[in-house]
Amino acid sequence: MTRPHASTPPTPPPPRSRRLLRGVALLAIGLLLASAIVGWLLQPQRAGPFLLRQVGNALGLELRAAAVDYRLRGTPQLVLQGLDARLPGDPKPVLQARRAFVSLPWRTLRSRGGDLTVQRVELDGPVLDLPALQRWLATRPPGGEARIPVLADGLRIRDGRIDNDDWRIDGLSIDLPSLHPERMLRARVRGRYLDPPLSVPADLAIALAHPRRALAGQATGLAAIGGLTVAGDDWRVPAQVFLAGPLRVGKDSALLKPARVGIAGRYRSQGSDLGFRLGLHGPMAFNNATWRLVPLQLVLDGDDSIPDARARGSLSFGRRLRMHLDGNLAAWPGAWPALPLPLSESRSPLPFALDYAGAFDFAAPTRLGLRRDATRFDARFRLPAVLAWLEADATGSPLPPLAGTLSSPSLELAGATLEGVEITLSDPDLPADDR
């Protein structure tokens, strides 16, 4: 009887085969993990909050969205509905938007910040809160040189709003066909500045020669052209405007030096429709929410009741308008009441000095000093009231609504010659002179 042989252990695979088996196993595990990750990424309800947290952590903001959708095939796209971005603990969001759309190439994602190329950005109904933005910017660590992204297919903003404590811009629309740091930027901007009762709707085409130079604080050419309307409760000034000059941008300021400004407009109220052309030249600086032109050269070409004039001085405008001008009237406007003899026959220049500080409707008192030869006139008035008086018929008051003094060596009135004339006018609607 033959004894059974003991079972022979299987021969182990050679080392090369073992490495191959391990490689196949690792590949299978990798494919399973990749499939799981892709399956997870293809579920926006899971991946969306994760992406928002990652971006929010990088920006120091809490980012939320009512709905998240994205596409990974072709050029990756991300769509956020009901976006809310705010500083942690801040009751006011820095930015809200009904819809935010971003499309960017795969190479930008792979570069991890090395490549800032973005295909396109769209924002529908964005609301930017400036005080909240300033609070967020104050938390950001100081960094290196700021970089401008490339927007291959540009930027589109619709129905936007910018809120400040006491003013806002609504109906904001921006169309930027493309953006490259080294190429001319062209954009169309529409919106309405509101600081009741002041309203300024505008529609402007803007060109910036070299965005990177502007961001670096170096001078580069800026030009803007288009239409705007400055309006109050019962008056409006529709105008076409042109602005050009070398722009230099600081941290919280901007400077156009020199700025060239051209305005062609009409002052319209219930009884007035007056056309004018205005040219301004001088350094134009912006800081503390105020534009200033100091020193200023001004040329005014007016119709009817608006005189032709040249002047030098200063101009600033933000929430309020301030101006000081010293110059000459080219002639006494024909629509103004005729001057008495001998002033009406004189061809001497009409030097003037004008000061104003107040709202854009010129409802605050204006101070005017005017001379011809030895005759001097100093007055205070409210421009809307004077314009209404000029437009009134013969049943109105024979005296203009102003307060001031007129002094002259001699005047001829109603056929009589008066020597050493001193006339004082008063207006009960004007505050007492505080000089």
pLDDT over threshold 90, residue 155: yes
pLDDT number for residue 27: 54
More confident residue, 12 or 1: 12
Q: Mean pLDDT lowest for which of 5-19, 68-82, 101-115, 332-346?
A: 5-19
pLDDT number for residue 223: 97
Q: Which of 326, 341, 345, 338 is nearest to 398 (CA)?
A: 338
Burial 86-106 (b: 16+ CB within 10 A, else e): bbeebeebbbbbbbbbbbbbe
Confidence band for 147, pLDDT divided at 50, 70 and 90: confident
pLDDT number for residue 113: 63
Q: What six digits make up the tokens of 140?
A: 């950001």
Around Cβ 347, how many Cβ atoms within 10 Å? 6
pLDDT over threshold 90, residue 123: yes
Around Cβ 132, how many Cβ atoms within 10 Å? 19
Q: Please compute, for residue 107, the number of CA atoms within 13 A of its CA located in the half-sphere on the CB side.
A: 6
More confident residue, 411 or 49: 411
pLDDT over threshold 70, residue 45: no
pLDDT number for residue 37: 42
Mean pLDDT across 99-122: 82
Confidence band for 50, pLDDT divided at 50, 70 and 90: low
Say if residues 285 and 295 touch (Cβ distance below 8 Å): no
Confidence band for 287, pLDDT divided at 50, 70 and 90: confident
pLDDT number for residue 5: 52
Confidence band for 42, pLDDT divided at 50, 70 and 90: very low
Mean pLDDT across 223-252: 91
Long-range own/partner contacts, residues 318-323 (CB < 8 A, 24 or more apart):
318/288, 318/289, 318/290, 318/291, 319/166, 319/167, 319/195, 319/289, 319/290, 320/357, 320/358, 320/359, 321/356, 321/357, 321/358, 321/359, 321/360, 321/362, 322/356, 322/357, 323/354, 323/355, 323/356, 323/357
pLDDT number for residue 46: 52
How does pLDDT run across 288-322, given as a tens digit for each residue?
A: 778 899 999 999 998 878 889 999 999 998 878 99
Whole-number Cα distances in Å, 35 to 26, 29, 48, 50, 110 = 14, 10, 18, 18, 20
Mean pLDDT across 396-422: 85
3-state helix, strand, coil in the chain (%, to 5): 15, 50, 35
Residues whose CB is less than 8 angstroms from the CB of residue 82 and which lie 6 or more positions away in sequence, other chains included: 64, 65, 66, 67, 98
More confident residue, 210 or 21: 210
Q: How far apart, in whole angstroms, are the C-alpha atoms of residue 322 and residue 292? A: 9
Q: Kindly report the average pLDDT of the chain as a whole number.
A: 84
More confident residue, 388 or 50: 388
pLDDT number for residue 72: 75
pLDDT over threshold 70, residue 435: no
Q: Which of 290, 435, 433, 292 is nearest to 365 (CA)?
A: 433
DSSP 302-316: E-TTSPPEEEEEEEE
Mean pLDDT across 122-130: 94
Q: Mean pLDDT lowest for which of 61-65, 211-215, 283-287, 331-335?
A: 331-335
How does pLDDT run across 218-231, given as a tens digit for each residue?
A: 999 999 999 999 88
How does pLDDT run across 257-271, given as a tens digit for each residue?
A: 999 999 999 988 877
pLDDT over threshold 80, residue 431: no
- Whole-prediction pTM value? 0.80
Percent of the chain with pLDDT over 70: 84
More confident residue, 109 or 381: 381
Q: How far apart, in whole angstroms, are the C-alpha atoms of residue 335 and residue 332? A: 9
Mean pLDDT across 206-235: 92
